[in-house]
Amino acid sequence: MDLLPVIIVVIILALVVIIAGSVMSRGKGSKNKKGKGGKKIKAKDHAQVLKEANRRLAQNPKDPDALAALGDVYYSEQSWDKAFKAYDTLLDAAAGNPDMDEFEMNKRYGLSALKLGRLDEAYKGLIVAHAVKQEDFETNYNLGYLEFQKRQYEKSIFHLRLASKLNGEHAMTLRYLGHSLFKVKNYKEALSCLKRAVDLQPDDKESLFAMGECFHEIGQEEQAIRIFTHLRTDPVLGPSASLYAGTIHLNQHQFQKAVQDFELGLKHPDIKVEVLVEIKYRLAAAYLKEQEIAKAVGLLNEIQQIYPNYKDTPSQLAKYKELNSSRNLQVYLLAPASDFITLCRKLTLTFFPKAKIKITDISVQKNDWADILAEVETSRWSDLVLFRMIRSTGTIGELVLRDFHARIKDVKAGKGYCITGGTFSDEAKKFVEARLIDLMEKDKLMGLLNTIDSSQKALLIDD
């Protein structure tokens, strides 16, 4: 009876050993099974990894560990097409598998697609990767780049700012961030980013050009003109740089410099048609300021052949073709004030044939018109006459005539003549009906100008 407890203990211990052995045996069997089809592949070189992975995929085409091994090899070797296919299959095979790195799979899938130019797939993979892990430089930079290509500039700025925080010395991040900020008209911050990008990559001419645009937009024209002048000879950006430089000089009334800029821009062999036409249009404007009417008309004709209704080219041509045929009309409408006054004196002295005319006063109003007071003596009458010669091809309204009438009273003139290169409004014509003012529109002005001979310069009477 004393041996019974001992026997019971022995039996219990034996059962425990048997159960433990059974559990260990099952565990070992399970490990062996995973070794046959589920454990990660470890090998010394890529060739062995590829061999083992392909062997396992032959048995199970969706073996996640084998696909991950293939993707890793191809990705490290930059075989982007094969890496893309491996990760594309892996994402489907490993869906919901907690043992797989969802961030890394989607990131590599996206970057492989991007290298192949498959932008939709790249965006899909990277946006999922970003959702898993936001603080990753490569993911944010490439998403920012993709958003920039899609012209989603606000989204591009969001990702590129994150990327810049993670790597503040990455030139391309600063480049696209600067260009995106420029697109949303945040010129000062864009300028800061672009400066840093150009410092890191001095040969980035597009970012340098964008810096010039930023300077121009914030009114720092000297810095802008310095950049655009430097880029005028660039084979790609030269035409646009010349256009900007010339436009700034044109706005600053530096017409000869503007002409030089535009002419240099036209020397480039390859110019986008829209840039070509705009350069010619603005060069024509610069030529007009320099009294080069024939050159301006030639350019306007060239523009009309490309784009018949480009801006106001038709009306400009109609106006300046006539100007080109009449030197006196050019002087009347466009010449400096001194030449205009000389012409007005000549007009006054030939206004009344066979009359004795003495000019007693000349005044100019902001280069808009000249008032000439003259004593006129004919065989039948003599009087003080005031002439107002207006430099315009537009419509003259009643207010100008009221001012002229008041001026006639001030100088005690007996009669007034108002002359324009354009027309008078109905209100202006009605105003002078009961007053001693004669109106002379463009057709009568042309008649007067045609009677003037250059030899009459010697007949000018001094005040």
- HSE-up of 320 (CA within 13 Å, CB side)? 23
Q: For residue 33, is it within any domain?
A: no
Q: For residue 386, is it within any domain?
A: yes
Shared-domain flag, residues 364 and 384 = yes
Mean pLDDT of 68-83: 93
Query: Which residue, of 297, 328, 359, is where some domain finishes?
Result: 328
pLDDT at 457: 42
Q: For residue 17, is it within any domain?
A: no
Shared-domain flag, residues 206 and 342 = no
Shared-domain flag, residues 450 and 388 = yes
Mean pLDDT of the chain: 89
Shared-domain flag, residues 307 and 423 = no
Shared-domain flag, residues 338 and 272 = no
Shared-domain flag, residues 447 and 367 = yes
Query: Which residue, of 306, 328, 350, is where some domain finishes?
Result: 328
**b (16+ CB within 10 A) / e for 109-143:** bbbbbbbeebeebbbbbbebbbeeeeebebbbbbb
- Which tens digit of pLDDT belongs to each residue from 302-351? 999 999 999 999 999 988 888 888 888 888 988 889 999 999 999 999 89
- Which tens digit of pLDDT belongs to each residue from 383-399? 999 999 999 988 999 99
- H or E stretch including 437? strand 437-440
Shared-domain flag, residues 170 and 277 = yes
Q: For residue 106, is it within any domain?
A: yes
- 246 or 333, greater pLDDT: 246
- H or E stretch including 260? helix 255-266
SS3 333: helix
Q: For residue 279, is it within any domain?
A: yes
Q: pLDDT band for position 96 (50/70/90)?
A: confident
Residue 78 DSSP class: T
Domain count, the chain: 2
- 30 or 283, greater pLDDT: 283
Tell me the residue range of the domain where 425 lies. 330-459
pLDDT at 52 over 60: yes
Q: For residue 200, is it within any domain?
A: yes
Shared-domain flag, residues 136 and 285 = yes
**b (16+ CB within 10 A) / e for 66-80:** bbbbbbbbbbeeeeb
pLDDT at 47 over 90: no
β-bridge pairing 395-396 and 437-440? unpaired
CB atoms within 10 A of CB 52: 16
- Which tens digit of pLDDT belongs to each residue from 417-432? 999 999 999 999 999 9
Q: For residue 37, is it within any domain?
A: no
Shared-domain flag, residues 308 and 454 = no
Shared-domain flag, residues 324 and 334 = no
Query: Which residue, of 300, 328, 356, is where some domain finishes?
Result: 328
Shared-domain flag, residues 218 and 342 = no
Q: For residue 310, is it within any domain?
A: yes
- 167 or 366, greater pLDDT: 167
Using a pLDDT cut of 70, give the percent of the chain over it. 88
Q: What CATH number is given to the structural domain containing 303?
A: 1.25.40.10
* Strand boundaries in 305-428, DSSP class E: 356-365, 369-377, 382-390, 395-396, 415-420, 423-424
pLDDT at 15 over 50: yes
- Which tens digit of pLDDT belongs to each residue from 18-31? 555 544 443 443 33
Shared-domain flag, residues 198 and 127 = yes
- H or E stretch including 170? none
